[in-house]
Structure 1
């Protein structure tokens, strides 16, 4: 009996020793296998500015880890760990998993300038602190980036009567999710509209997350009476205490308008069958910009020959005019009557403009047939005279 007891005691002692070593090994692995990190352990902010950081909880071991997370903040401050819309109190990590969690820090009203520390602790199931992360917040009178507006084309040139489109990038670098109001300063009777990207929806306020970038399409429509010249437009982005402006410039090169008429002001003419008739057109530049590379085209009945002399005008200065002779030749077999002929004068290039008039052309029968008809009438009259003369003698 005594031998059996003496044999069991060493076995029990050895087992207890193995268990203690195993627990010790597990405890060491657990304490060395967790790490809390952030890319920005020290930041500088303005008084009252909210803070959002990403905190990473890393499991560096080959075991599952379930941890309690505690946040300690200075008096009056609020600091929370969030994932989506939830507050995070515990986290379970698979072997070698990294879990990002959002840290939100809110300063108290009337906070004094200085340095403040927020501490995040990770605890095991026994309440032991396994790892800690300290984040230092320096509250100072700094000038944060806030809102930024930028464009690669701040100046655009174009003719009067047409809109200008600018592409502007808006970046929210306030560190907070914000609603941003859009406004502008422009000359009287000018309009400015804002659209997100290449959408057609018009907006005056846009919601942006912290760090987000949004391309805006800004359409500037000049007043109909705007003369040639340079016009400044200022675009404003405002959100609370943050405001940013961007200066744009619209350069109007001139108004491009013209008038097209005949030299006598009449829009009707006669044209015999198979013969050429002419009409003189007058092209007048009624705008403030030079009309360049003007050409002419016609649209009328099939088989008609329409020619322009000259067929192209290189340029017409503002307030000047030019004449063009139009030759019109109906077919020889055209049926006598009224026909419609449309003539268009147009310029080419970025400042294109056109004008169209409609002429009424009366086609007359051939002169030869008129002469033949006249001869027949004369013969008939002479025949009647001869008959009356013979009857009178009887």
Structure 2
């Protein structure tokens, strides 16, 4: 009987040892789990919200299910979130890691000093397998807040065209924020904002702490804007944070011209082998000076087209110049109508051109006209002589 009791006691003891060993083996060891962050100590302003990324790593080849706890100083709030949910437990696969967002909120009227927030990971038995201390120094610091910058704050262009600026916006408030975008510009000017090179227009943008984004800012002048320099101020605002950036649009003027003949006619007569002079009128109808103007022609082969002058240095706004064009068809040109194209153009960054279409009627030579007239007279006289002789008979 006593032997049976001893055997039973030994079996119970062995079973208890097996259960304890299973629990011990199932529990994560301190060497198998790590909690880390890239910023274990930070300095913030009083009342500033804090967002950090905490990373949980499983260094073993087994699955680990861990409970998470966060302890903070009295009056402080600290939560672990992922995808909008509060995280209480996490399961990690073999050699897996999981980032979790840690949000820390200071109490109102917090005193300057050093505070510690502790993140703990516990196994199924409630044992702490790893912990992370985050040290927060509350001090009167001045974070940069929002920054706006550009490498090209001044752009030059002709009237009637939009100006495009590339501006970098950085959120250095230490918090994830919605940032409003606005502007100050001359009357009837419009300014639009687009993210990067997208076509979507925005008036606000959501940015994480420390994030940098490129904005495309399109400035469209008023249709009545004269040549000159204009200032545009771009504003980025989020709560108490605000940053401005001054941009400059330089309108150099409109560049347009009109090309016509002095009498307004677009058709003319030109005898074979003889030069006919046509006077062109070039008018500067824009607000900018037309510079380095030249002329060219396109017409039938063998024709001689000359311009006097053939180049003009400058035509001021609201003024006109006259150019004499000599048109000489070949001596053997067949009489009839021909098309002649004349183009006036300027060179440089604000080049413009204007083309005029002329219809030229080529007339036969006067010599052949006189010969024809003599032949007609001879024929008529011959007929008169024949009728006179026949009448006498």
**Is the contact between residue 56 and residue 98 of structure 2 (CA under 8 Å) also seen in structure 1?**
yes
**Tell me, what secondary structure is at the counterpart of 1:378?**
helix
Query: How far apart in 2 are the matches of 1:326 and 1:106?
Result: 83
The Cα of 1:68 is off from its aligned counterpart by: 0.8
Evaluate the alpha carbon distance shift between residue 161 and residue 334 of structure 1 in structure 2; reply closer, same or farther with a 3 A threshold.
farther
Evaluate the alpha carbon distance shift between residue 390 and residue 223 of structure 1 in structure 2; reply closer, same or farther with a 3 A threshold.
same
**Is the contact between residue 71 and residue 119 of structure 1 (CA under 8 Å) also seen in structure 2?**
yes
The Cα of 1:82 is off from its aligned counterpart by: 2.2
| Alignment of structure 1 residues 82-101 onto 2, 5 Å | 82-101=81-100
**Tell me, what secondary structure is at the counterpart of 1:30?**
coil
Evaluate the alpha carbon distance shift between residue 154 and residue 274 of structure 1 in structure 2; reply closer, same or farther with a 3 A threshold.
same
Query: How far apart in 1 are the matches of 2:21 and 2:295?
Result: 99
Query: How far apart in 2 are the matches of 1:61 and 1:343?
Result: 85
Evaluate the alpha carbon distance shift between residue 193 and residue 344 of structure 1 in structure 2; reply closer, same or farther with a 3 A threshold.
farther
The Cα of 1:254 is off from its aligned counterpart by: 3.8
| Alignment of structure 1 residues 133-148 onto 2, 5 Å | 133-139=132-138, 142-148=141-147
The Cα of 1:105 is off from its aligned counterpart by: 2.7
**Tell me, what secondary structure is at the counterpart of 1:68?**
strand
Query: How far apart in 1 are the matches of 2:226 and 2:275?
Result: 44
The Cα of 1:61 is off from its aligned counterpart by: 5.1
**Is the contact between residue 257 and residue 353 of structure 1 (CA under 8 Å) also seen in structure 2?**
yes
Query: How far apart in 2 are the matches of 1:271 and 1:202?
Result: 60
RMSD: 3.8
Aligned to 2:238: 239
Query: How far apart in 2 are the matches of 1:21 and 1:125?
Result: 13
**Is the contact between residue 296 and residue 308 of structure 1 (CA under 8 Å) also seen in structure 2?**
no
Query: How far apart in 2 are the matches of 1:122 and 1:203?
Result: 42
Structure 2: segments with no counterpart, 5+ residues: none
**Is the contact between residue 28 and residue 129 of structure 2 (CA under 8 Å) also seen in structure 1?**
no
1:336 is the counterpart of 2:336: yes
| Alignment of structure 1 residues 33-48 onto 2, 5 Å | 33-46=32-45, 48=47
Q: Which of 179-188 and 69-78 deviates more?
A: 69-78
Tell me how many residue pairs correspond in the alignment: 390
The Cα of 1:125 is off from its aligned counterpart by: 1.5
**Tell me, what secondary structure is at the counterpart of 1:31?**
coil
Query: How far apart in 1 are the matches of 2:196 and 2:280?
Result: 47
Aligned to 2:381: 382
**Tell me, what secondary structure is at the counterpart of 1:256?**
coil
Q: Which of 282-291 and 372-381 deviates more?
A: 282-291
Aligned to 1:215: 214
Structure 1: segments with no counterpart, 5+ residues: none
Alignment equivalent of 1:305, drawn from 296, 303, 306? 303
| Alignment of structure 1 residues 23-34 onto 2, 5 Å | 30-34=29-33
TM-score by length of 2: 0.81
Query: How far apart in 2 are the matches of 1:133 and 1:303?
Result: 90
Aligned to 1:53: 52
| Alignment of structure 1 residues 218-229 onto 2, 5 Å | 218-229=217-228
The Cα of 1:210 is off from its aligned counterpart by: 3.4
Query: How far apart in 1 are the matches of 2:265 and 2:167?
Result: 52
Aligned to 2:187: 188
CA deviations over 1:279-302 (Å, ceiling 9, x no partner): 2323344545443332323344x4
Aligned to 1:154: 153
Query: How far apart in 1 are the matches of 2:109 and 2:208?
Result: 25
Query: How far apart in 1 are the matches of 2:339 and 2:237?
Result: 60
Query: How far apart in 1 are the matches of 2:344 and 2:87?
Result: 74
Query: How far apart in 1 are the matches of 2:256 and 2:265?
Result: 22
Q: Which of 241-250 and 72-81 deviates more?
A: 72-81
Query: How far apart in 2 are the matches of 1:304 and 1:208?
Result: 70
**Is the contact between residue 286 and residue 318 of structure 1 (CA under 8 Å) also seen in structure 2?**
no
**Is the contact between residue 171 and residue 212 of structure 1 (CA under 8 Å) also seen in structure 2?**
yes
**Is the contact between residue 287 and residue 318 of structure 1 (CA under 8 Å) also seen in structure 2?**
no
Evaluate the alpha carbon distance shift between residue 84 and residue 24 of structure 1 in structure 2; reply closer, same or farther with a 3 A threshold.
closer
Evaluate the alpha carbon distance shift between residue 26 and residue 272 of structure 1 in structure 2; reply closer, same or farther with a 3 A threshold.
same
Query: How far apart in 2 are the matches of 1:314 and 1:376?
Result: 51
